[in-house]
Chain A
Amino acid sequence: MKRHILSHSVGTLLVWFGFAVLLIVAPKVFNQGASLSLLSQMGTLMIFGLSFNMLLGQGGMLSFGHAVYSGLGAFFAVHAMNLAAAGVLTIPVSLIPLVGGLAGMLFGILFGYVTTKKSGTTFSMITLGMVELVFACSLMFPKFFGGEGGISTNRVMGNPFLGITFGPQIEVYYLIAFWLFVSTVAMFAFTHTPLGRMINAVRDNPERAEFIGYDTQWVRYLTLIISAFFAGIAGGLSAINFEIVTAENVSALRSGAVLLFSFIGGIGYFYGPMIGAVAGVFLTVMLSDFTKAWQLYLGIFFIFIVMFAPGGIAGIWASYYRMFKFRKMRQIWPAFWKICCAGLLTVSGAIMAIEMLYQRSLGGDQEPIAKIAGVSLNVFESMPWCIAALLCLIGGVGFFFTQRRFIAVWNSAMAEIEVAILKGDA
């Protein structure tokens, strides 16, 4: 028993160590020009997503207004930076995220008391009202929110510390990486505290939690305050990274984005939102460079995840890992590669059609050529459309036939695994 605990701790330590190494080494591996900016964005989005999942994944609280805390944190951070540059405040840039965090926490205390009075759908509706309220207010108070243009700042201010000015992106990246590591450790540790466990209990069965002595409103309120703190840190880092904060930072749009990305990553797993952040930056920032249809792809991908893989990417990974661990991969492989081929065909056909549609709609008669994967296609000729339709048709039919077999094979493998687990524990 003792050896089991020890190997468990060593395993956990290794994961954290590996995470730290990954953060340090990432810029060396991804060293294209824009990569640093992307990595920085992923970093802030990870903290934001993890804080959001404290509410949704761990607490069962679906908030449509989480950007309020990160956005207000960002505004306070950016004002603090401007005040520091003007000599009114002395705060080093590296501690600005903390200013954001404290601001987020403050508003968590203020708004959270009202929002957590109710739970379930009512809670979600209050948060929607709250974010729309704050967003509408932000256009009414230009002195604090900067009106249409927002508030900008210069992160190179104050005395350089050990030669670090935070001018170059690489320095900003490492600042984000540091705060990301610290925040992740803290939020993970939270899940192993009494409050962290009770918020899970409140999620599963709020009534039962009351009957074991806990005031569920307090549990949710305190968790929200802590979550708002970390959201504020993410906001502060965003202020440093972009050097500008606008009303969009407190918008329902941004709240919806973190919801989308966290769900895609997988809300049932602690690290799910981190995967979601990577996928999110990929699907928004990177994909928009390749195709004009990126928003459609994002929406379709999200719906796909909701309908077929509600556990998110983390859930997909976890279930395939389980197959692998129980040595069932060989069993499902034949059906698996067949369904993958069918899916691939359908997806390629669909992408072709969508890209050509977009080219037709946006390019019009002036630009009839769509470039897909290096191949030029004239969107007004019928040939490319026929090919796309054929791909979809063949893929669709193939999918229809292979999916039944795959589902049967998958279910039987899962059943065997469950039997093995129940037996193994007895």
Chain B
Amino acid sequence: MSQFALELKDVRKSFGSAEIIRGASLQVLKGERVAIIGPNGAGKSTLFNLISGRFGISSGEILLNGSSIQGLAPYQINRRGLSRSFQITNIFHRLSVYENLRCAVLWSLGYKYSFWQRLNGLKDVHELANNVMEQIGLQTRRHITAGSLTYAEQRALEIGITVAGGAEVILLDEPTAGMSRSESDAAVELIRKMTIGKTLLMVEHDMSVVFGLADKIAVVVYGEVIACDTPQSIRQNQQVKDAYLGGHAPMENAA
């Protein structure tokens, strides 16, 4: 049993002749919270897509809890305990909030493709969905169609669906995108609450979110992980400064 929840070994991905991911390597310990940052176009979302099985990799290895997951379909990867959220809200817009969460827990509770069991009679499904709904603070909106929620509510639901299935490794793709300061703070609290004891991998641009949540920061530039270290070290890292600021970084003030 590997100590690493998630491991990337020299992963490469080309789209046609353009190599987007050029040898990314990463190791995430169990229970660690890692934030992935980097300039626009560095390939952060692409990495997420590769890990979660949306695209296949061109070469390299991706290991989940020690076993390889490349070439697997998204649903197979999810069944092995990895779940992800999306940058553009990806929910079941015609179902209610409650139904959204119910769907999210069905497979993990083992109900699979059953068409002989009454959904309303499944107590464990009901309880689990209710719990998640309370945690994300949408229990007063339980019967509202998901498509009618406000943006922040939809992002909360997105996180809820991601976490509800009980996956051990959670990937959140820009969870606070488009949020105001107060909404972001609330989202950070929510994420912290819901990922206790889980391994978290997060793409983020908002540095206060990053510093508030992450144990480690991985910096992705031009499809490579150029650094993966504690927040303090990353702050001082010259390579990172050059990548963001083109080598003209001002003198670091007392931060």
Contact = CB atoms under 8 A, between A and B. Distances in A.
Nearest to B171: A211
Given A193-B118, A197-B106, A212 B161 contact: yes
B107 interface: yes
B103 A197 contact: yes
Contacts of B117: 193-194
Contact of A198 (B86, B90, B106, B144): B106
Interface stretch (A63-71, A148-156, A202-210, A246-254): A202-210
A198 B103 contact: yes
Interface stretch (B91-99, B186-194, B236-244): B91-99
A197 B101 CA distance: 11
Nearest to A205: B92
B92 A192 contact: no
Interface string A195-222: 1111011011101111111111011001
A210 B75 contact: yes
B140 A194 contact: no
Interface in A245-284: none
Contact of B84 (A196, A201, A211): A211
- Max count, chain A CB within 10 A of own CB: residue among B83, B106, B116, B165: B106
B118 A192 contact: yes
Given A204-B94, A205-B90, A213 B141 contact: no
A211 B74 contact: yes
A218 B113 contact: yes
User: Main secondary structure on chain A at its contact with chain B?
Assistant: helix
B73 interface: yes
B114 A204 contact: no
Interface residues of B, number: 41
B103 A212 contact: yes
Contact of B120 (A192, A201, A205): A192
B115 A222 contact: yes
Contacts of A418: 148
Contacts of B142: 425
A213 B108 contact: yes
Interface residues of A, number: 33
B13 interface: no
B141 A425 contact: yes
B248 interface: no
Given A211-B74, A212-B104, A204 B95 contact: yes
Contacts of B123: none
A207 B73 CA distance: 11
Contacts of B151: none
B139 to A, nearest CB: 10
Nearest to B108: A213
- Max count, chain B CB within 10 A of own CB: residue among A194, A196, A216: A194
Contacts of B119: 192-194, 196-197
A200 B75 contact: no
Interface in B164-221: 165
Contact of A426 (B92, B140, B165): B140
A224 interface: no
B115 A213 contact: no
B235 interface: no
8 tightest Cβ-Cβ pairs between the two chains A and B: A213-B107, A195-B115, A204-B92, A210-B74, A194-B111, A213-B78, A193-B115, A201-B103
Given A195-B113, A219-B113, 12 more contacts: A192-B120, A193-B114, A195-B115, A197-B95, A198-B103, A204-B93, A210-B75, A211-B52, A214-B107, A216-B75, A422-B144, A425-B144
